[in-house]
A and B are shown apart, each in its own frame.
Chain A
Amino acid sequence: MGIHTLDARRLFCPMPVIRAQNRIKTLAKGDILEVTCTDPGAKNDVPAWCRINGHEVVSIETEDDEIIIKIAVGGK
């Protein structure tokens, strides 16, 4: 199990979702992806994408203007 990071700052939805989706394609089940975003819309869109595609949002943290979404990669 690996921990990976994705910088999606300054991108507006749906780009953070697209970047997360494309990165997750390269990861294995159980891997963790930490996505850092600045678009508040990502707080809704990334979890929605995870729910419908079988991945789990482990946590969503906000630091200043940055949102860090931690995703556990599910079966694909």
Chain B
Amino acid sequence: MKRNDGLLTKKFDKLLIANRGEIAMRILRAAHELGIDTVAVYSDADRYAPHVRYAKEAYYIGPSPARESYLVIEKILDVAQKAGAQAIHPGYGFLAERAEFAQACVDHDIVFVGPPAEAIRTMGDKQMARQTVTAAGVPVVPGTPAGTDEELIAAGSEMGFPLLVKATAGGGGKGMRPVYEAAALPDAIAAARREAAAAFGDGTVYLEKMIVEGRHIEIQLMADSHGNAIYLGERECSLQRRHQKLIEEAPSFAVDEDLRRRMGEVAVAAAKAVNYVNAGTIEFLMDKDKKFYFLEMNTRLQVEHPVTELVTGVDIVQEMLRVARGRKLRIRQEDVKMQGWAIECRINAEDPYNNYLPSTGLVTTSRAPTGPGVRVDTGVFRGYEVTPYYDSMISKLICYGETRAEAILRMRRALAEYRVMGVKTNIPFHQHMMDSHRFLSGRFDTKFVEREFSMSDREATDELEAAILATLVAHRQGQQASQIVSPGTRDASNWKYLGRWERLRR
């Protein structure tokens, strides 16, 4: 079926995944479970990546920088045609929210596993999105239209501080700057424009009132091409640093049954306003009086979708593929029940003891925790190189429990079992958070990590053991070296002995 807003649905049995890393793995697993063949694409940096090794077919698409490979629409479409893939799943990031890509797929008679191009276009422009959902009766955060530097500076003083400078094309915190006083506004506008222009090729910005002590809560939506739309409950995403989410939970500590229904119904109304189809997320800001405001719609699969999967039992990625094949949703709103609690920690290659600086390099050890209630979505392995070409996420560690307390205890256990070396990781940050009283009691907002949370009060508990372990390893290494060089005790020369010893060690 083809709709004139750029939606194409039809049955397919071969899917191209226009992405890499953990999300490419997630999608190809769902496809294989449904009996759909998969086609991977890869850049120079990713020849060894698991999504290449696990896919049915894989095609090279160019150099490591994404703009020369994963972001090149023509290359992706070429591979789809060459491989005979009738559908493309974009994952998140890269081409996932590019309306022209969704449209190009449909123009080539390829199913885009996502919403119609028109819905991406509307929701991708923050100004247009605000107007559209306002018309549908959805509350939005007070703000200004886009404008010149002078217009925005004037409007900012009128609106009052604190406020946010936001890019109309923005997302994930890029092209966004908080401003607490009039004097800082011009610099913030310049920085936001610069970052937005670099990231999205569009430096248009506007201003929005900052909701202080706000929580970031989002609703997962699922809609089919037959007019059915449901919400799969909320996710609590308030634990962020510089607008990058670090920990997500489902459900939210701050949402009860009644609030969930009201937020869900508003989210469904926003989706229907753009004839939305497939998986999507409405992000809300909630103030301390539990009033909620539309922030934006993400017209794609979210990084943090697993927490919703664990508490609702719905396989969101499989459901996306079914909807793209033109099928009806298998569940009705009244069938959606949230059970238990799920928490996701994003394990990133960054140093929590040094201002969270990204850490690049070769991963020399990678062993993920396992056991009951633990899920790890990753594309990283021993020998993987964390490069500046792609994001710094190593994995998503997701733990499930009957209650929030059980999920937290399980997360502590799993974090302690995780072994990553070669790059610094934020595992100690997550451990410290899981021990924090504020986190345990659910009293946090979107500024908690930046303003009130510190790693400096974390005590190193295993220094003695670390000292002993390193000393024992060093001692053993020294002894082996001295065995090699002590002369006269062997019939062969030391060089021969060294060669034999090294061969034995392999």
A-B interaction: no
Interface set of A (CB-CB < 8 Å, partner B): none
